[in-house]
Amino acid sequence: QVQLVESGGGLVQAGGSLRLSCLASGRTFSFYAMGWFRQAPGKEREFVARISWSGGTYYADSVKGRFTISRDHAKNTLYLQMNTLKPEDTAVYYCAADPLDPWDVVRRTRTSDFGSWGQGTQVTVSS
């Protein structure tokens, strides 16, 4: 019901910044929370950040203070501003939609809680 396309990944040196974007399309006037996840080589996909329909945010401890999730409803776009990047941030980053808890009443963070996923965008941070 919701199609997602990520962009903005690339190669950056440690301490640098990147902004990822996720363009959403599909159902008009859909209400859903959205999130960012990442998967490093040989690792399981992990939660990074979540944002509710109204803009409330929640972050994994590993990115608090460095990453900022935001959304622009008018542009149907989700963003992840990543600052002070570290080599351990290297991963494929995915955006996802959670239509079952748009107001973050439960504030779900598991990969299985999200029903729609983008194709991912590679972020590589060199030391």
Question: According to the model, what pLDDT value does residue 29 have?
Answer: 54
Question: According to the model, what pLDDT value does residue 28 have?
Answer: 54
Q: What is the mean pLDDT of residues 5-9?
A: 97
Question: According to the model, what pLDDT value does residue 118 have?
Answer: 95
pLDDT digits (tens, 9 = 90+) for 22-63: 999 987 557 889 999 999 999 999 999 999 999 999 999 999
60-82 per-residue burial string, b: 16 or more CB within 10 A, e: under 16: beebeeebbbebeeeebbbbbeb
Question: According to the model, what pLDDT value does residue 86 have?
Answer: 98
CB 120 within 8 A of CB 94: yes
Q: What is the mean pLDDT of residues 1-15?
A: 95
Task: Write the CA distances from 2 to 21, 53, 64, 86, integer angstroms.
Answer: 15, 14, 27, 31
Q: What is the mean pLDDT of residues 94-108?
A: 90
Q: Count Cβ atoms below 10 Å from residue 11 Cβ, excluding itself.
A: 12
CB within 8 A of 54, min separation 6: which ones? 103
Q: How many residues does the chain have?
A: 127
pLDDT band at 104 (very low <50, low <70, confident <90, very high): confident
pLDDT digits (tens, 9 = 90+) for 55-97: 999 999 999 999 999 999 889 999 999 999 999 999 999 999 9
CB 124 within 8 A of CB 90: yes
Question: According to the model, what pLDDT value does residue 105 have?
Answer: 87
Question: According to the model, what pLDDT value does residue 2 have?
Answer: 86
Question: According to the model, what pLDDT value does residue 31 have?
Answer: 84
